[in-house]
Structure 1
Amino acid sequence: MSKIRDYLEAHKQEMIDFLAELVAIPSVQGEAEDGYPFGKMPAKALEAMLKKCEEFGFTVENVENYAGSADVNDMPAQLAVLTHLDVVPVGTGWTSEPYVLRCEPDTGKLVGRGAIDDKGPAAAALFAARAIKELGIPLKKGIRLIFGTNEENGSADLAYYRKKRELPPMVFTPDGEYPVINAEKGMLRVYFSTSAPKNVEIQAGTVINAVPSSCKVQMLVAEKAGPKSIFGTVEGRSAHASTPEKGENAITKFLSDNHNDIPVLKNLSELFPHGELNGKSCGLGFRDDISGDMTCVLSMLNTENGRLCGGIDIRFPLDRTKAEVSGIICGKLREAGFYIDSCEGAEPHCTDENSEFVQTLLRVYERVTGDKGHCIAIGGGTYVHEIEGGVAFGAEFPNEDGHMHCPDEFITVENLLKNAEIMAEAMAEICS
């Protein structure tokens, strides 16, 4: 441990400089072109990473700019560390240039888009592997670093990579939180529509996986003097759809008003009462002892081209199936007069917390941090959701908020080094 820690401390500035190089590449998904399935910028970030891996003596491969890999040694890979180099758009509200890594000496923060999600962890994984190699730690198993370019927009990168290459039997991604995320709820996204009610226009929600913070409504009301147009905005509070208790749904707040004279709105208000988060009124409301209560969020409702179009984000427990949950929610919507435009999702993911792989990661976490390790179940999906036996291991520590997907995203220098140390220790213990 001391050798690894000393090595990483000695190469700290080099790691920070390389993270700055990655952050400077605006690797948001762009238009697909020949040879660039997700645009040129994600491919440019991948090129920079693989070039650095080559400099460190790793054997690299670029799988058609979908993803790339670096083998740390020449043995068959038994462990993969999976990270991604694409980022979400910067949005607004930054206090500095998002694509210029800013170091705050007083706080130790490294601020820039991708700092915690997931370029910082990718750089930490790279230097962890370099430490293993240059310190001459003897290995009996192969280690592979895998770098994706489309995690933020559906993980088509990983699906393509898996068609072309077989994953090692053990995979962890530092794209979540510590100690270990081993269980992830199933996910379902339902889009529905019906004829829009006359004289009503609604605009609420732009993405299906977020609690809508506002609902804009225009109604044409009949009065003695003639029709009168009424505008209004119902305010809520945004949150991720996997944790709706942190927000307030502006759509259901609007529907909770008396709209008995508009049947389609009345039907929706009955299916999605304001404040109900588990979908009980839709015939759902399931829970289990590991993953807890399910969530069901009416996250989009918009009138367009004569249709009222909605979207629902559902995260369901480990003991339920996609077919069961989709059958119930789609049946209730059809009974209420809605047409199902699409219904897609993923089954729950769970890796045995008693497996040697998970227990090794927990031991490493405890040894490096001094804190008790335990497994976590979440409502969100990580990069390993579709990988049997995969887990999320880092990169955020308990009670830490690196402003992921938000303005002024950051990782501290201390935690960048600590992530690298934990990953190096895990590589050494699993593969030596």
Structure 2
Amino acid sequence: MEQMIVDYMPQVKDFFEAHRAEFLEDLAKMIAIDSQRTEAKEGMPYGEGPALALAKTLEIAAGYGLYTENWENYVGIIQLDDRKERKLEILAHLDVVPEGKDWTVTEPFVMREVDGKVYGRGTADDKGPALAAIYALRAIKELGISLQQGVRVVVGCDEECGSSDLDYYWTKTSPAEMTFSPDADYPLINLEKGRFGVKINGTLPKQTGVIKIQSVQCGTKSNVIPADAEAVVSGIETEAAEALLSQLTAETGVEAKLLAEGDALHIALKGTAAHSADPDAGNNAATAMLQFLAKLPGEDFAMVQKLHDIFPHGDRHGKAAGIYGSDDESGEISVSFNILNIDEAGNLFAVVDSRTPISMGEPDLALLPEKLKAAGYTAETSISAPHYVSPDTPLIKTLLAHYEEWFGEKGECIAIGGGTYVHNIPGGVAFGCAKLNVDNKMHGPDEFAEVDQLLVSGMLFTTAIYDLCR
């Protein structure tokens, strides 16, 4: 294996270096399309943006002589030829999370290169890695490297909102013998925690006091820790609200702004966005807002106070919720309260996203719905099992060998809290393209990818594909 990698490295390296500018031009075209999921349209199950992104990506691939198919705007496939059989499948996605606020380097959908990094929504998650995989097929084709078995790059359109694109895909075909997704960190992820989701509904008691909660809006995606939270409260003196917000800022670290409009006070909190699989990386504006609301005086807010008791700000591992757990292989459970909405009628809706160690199951999580019920809420839960692949598989051994050759670093398996595109695929692993200890600001403002990291990933994919499919 090592001799094969060394023999092909110069050719592959030269190819990617020669096409660096072209790679970035193609990536800029992909980044320019806002491909977050929106309301479905005829022939566009995830809205216009993902469909446009898929069309552009397939156009780019076809322009290099690769075989492409659009599967009803759920996914697209890219291959060297039109064969149906394939040994290896590479799963990437083109949809993105909302652009968010507070970008400083560029606009979210205008890619900009600065100091060897490209900024823009999707550069790291996952358009950049998707293009690296496509360029690996292009390199194989243009360098005349012969494969005996097939390889397919699948580009999907709904990874960020539940991967229903793959659900559709698997109704039309079966998984390949080997699968990896370049939508995570190097070296290689073979263990993904389970996922425990909770949708919370409740109707707050009719507000009879002077102070009233008019509306609350925090968060938009179940898997994104919200950086922003807004509320409108009436009947409270500005000075009293300012005092509560000053205390809140000191306790939570969020920024707070207050705007008075007649009897109403508009409150805006600013935290730090992060992926919900790593809540320690963010500062949750939703739980900060919940803490502020729980401090409002009066019996009208008892239900809100009980909800805050279950999800206090800074408790990111479910201790107050009664579901804390940990193991040596996968670490602690993570619990992230990511959406909180209250309308003028007092209807409350919230979403919690938790990532569970491989040692935890449904009985270990049962106390949280019970606590919510006792507090006056209903809880709709969903559970997905953890995903684990033995490090001894040929796929893992081959990918790590190529990683070590190209990056000059020890290849090893790691565990994560997030669920990747391969979570439900037997034997599937996540492989690249980000460095493990580099914060690419995925799901936050100023998302970026290192250009050299993407290009070397493409080189690695090229030689690994050959080794696995020759």
Shared fold by TM > 0.5? yes
Give the fraction of aligned pairs with identical amino acids, expressed as a percent: 39
Deviation at 1:289, TM superposition (A): 1.2
The one-letter amino acid paired with 1:76 is E
Aligned counterpart for 2:431 among listed residues 390, 393, 405: 393
Q: Secondary structure at the match of 1:278?
A: coil
2:6 matched to 1:3? no
The answer to whether the 8 Å contact 2:96/2:160 transfers is yes
Give the direction of change, closer, same or farther, for the CA distance of 1:25–1:203 in structure 2 (3 Å limit): closer
Give the direction of change, closer, same or farther, for the CA distance of 1:279–1:124 in structure 2 (3 Å limit): same
What are the within-5 Å matches in structure 2 for residues 314-393 of structure 1? Answer: 314-321=354-361, 323-340=362-379, 342-393=380-431
Deviation at 1:273, TM superposition (A): 4.3
The CA distance in 1 between the partners of 2:42 and 2:413, in whole Å, is 42
TM-superposition CA deviations, 1:102-141 (whole Å, max 9, x none): 233xx12222332222111111111111112222333232
2:41 matched to 1:28? no
Q: Secondary structure at the match of 2:444?
A: coil
2:233 matched to 1:218? yes
The answer to whether the 8 Å contact 1:71/1:144 transfers is yes
Aligned counterpart for 2:98 among listed residues 72, 79, 89: 89
The answer to whether the 8 Å contact 1:218/1:229 transfers is no
Deviation at 1:196, TM superposition (A): 1.1
The CA distance in 2 between the partners of 1:33 and 1:316, in whole Å, is 35
The CA distance in 1 between the partners of 2:38 and 2:231, in whole Å, is 30
Give the direction of change, closer, same or farther, for the CA distance of 1:240–1:168 in structure 2 (3 Å limit): same
The CA distance in 1 between the partners of 2:37 and 2:336, in whole Å, is 27
2:109 matched to 1:99? yes
TM-superposition CA deviations, 1:323-345 (whole Å, max 9, x none): 335533212222333222x2224
Aligned residue number for residue 242 of structure 1:
277
The TM-score with structure 2 as length reference comes to 0.81
The one-letter amino acid paired with 1:334 is K
What are the within-5 Å matches in structure 2 for residues 71-220 of structure 1? Answer: 71-73=79-81, 74=83, 76-94=85-103, 95-104=105-114, 107-197=115-205, 198=207, 199=209, 200-201=212-213, 203=216, 205-207=218-220, 208-213=222-227, 214=229, 216=231, 218=233
TM-superposition CA deviations, 1:332-363 (whole Å, max 9, x none): 222333222x2224221222222221121111
The CA distance in 1 between the partners of 2:233 and 2:459, in whole Å, is 56
TM-superposition CA deviations, 1:82-121 (whole Å, max 9, x none): 11122233333334343333233xx122223322221111
Deviates more, 1:73-82 or 1:119-128: 73-82
The answer to whether the 8 Å contact 1:75/1:141 transfers is no
Deviation at 1:260, TM superposition (A): 9.3
Deviates more, 1:326-335 or 1:119-128: 326-335
The answer to whether the 8 Å contact 2:157/2:165 transfers is yes
Unaligned runs of 5+ in 1: none
Q: Secondary structure at the match of 2:87?
A: strand
The CA distance in 1 between the partners of 2:352 and 2:378, in whole Å, is 13
The TM-score with structure 1 as length reference comes to 0.88
What is the Cα-based RMSD across aligned positions, in Å? Answer: 2.8
Give the direction of change, closer, same or farther, for the CA distance of 1:266–1:25 in structure 2 (3 Å limit): closer
TM-superposition CA deviations, 1:155-182 (whole Å, max 9, x none): 2211111111222121111111111111
Aligned residue number for residue 316 of structure 2:
277
The answer to whether the 8 Å contact 1:277/1:296 transfers is yes
Give the direction of change, closer, same or farther, for the CA distance of 1:211–1:408 in structure 2 (3 Å limit): closer
Deviation at 1:240, TM superposition (A): 3.2
The CA distance in 2 between the partners of 1:165 and 1:91, in whole Å, is 36
Deviation at 1:41, TM superposition (A): 2.8
Deviation at 1:252, TM superposition (A): 6.0
Aligned residue number for residue 65 of structure 2:
57
Q: Secondary structure at the match of 1:282?
A: coil
The CA distance in 2 between the partners of 1:26 and 1:5, in whole Å, is 32
Give the direction of change, closer, same or farther, for the CA distance of 1:333–1:75 in structure 2 (3 Å limit): closer
2:338 matched to 1:299? yes
The CA distance in 2 between the partners of 1:300 and 1:101, in whole Å, is 29
The CA distance in 1 between the partners of 2:275 and 2:302, in whole Å, is 29
The CA distance in 2 between the partners of 1:75 and 1:39, in whole Å, is 28
The CA distance in 1 between the partners of 2:177 and 2:394, in whole Å, is 12
Deviates more, 1:31-40 or 1:90-99: 90-99
The CA distance in 2 between the partners of 1:14 and 1:35, in whole Å, is 31
Q: Tell me how many residue pairs correspond in the alignment.
A: 423
Q: Secondary structure at the match of 2:366?
A: helix
The answer to whether the 8 Å contact 1:252/1:298 transfers is no
Unaligned runs of 5+ in 2: 1-8, 255-270
The answer to whether the 8 Å contact 2:129/2:182 transfers is yes
The one-letter amino acid paired with 2:366 is G
The CA distance in 1 between the partners of 2:54 and 2:305, in whole Å, is 50
Deviation at 1:215, TM superposition (A): 7.0
The answer to whether the 8 Å contact 1:218/1:230 transfers is no
The answer to whether the 8 Å contact 1:172/1:384 transfers is yes
Deviates more, 1:71-80 or 1:247-256: 247-256
The CA distance in 1 between the partners of 2:123 and 2:78, in whole Å, is 21
Q: Secondary structure at the match of 2:320?
A: helix
TM-superposition CA deviations, 1:220-263 (whole Å, max 9, x none): 57x9xxxx995754443334332222344415644785979554
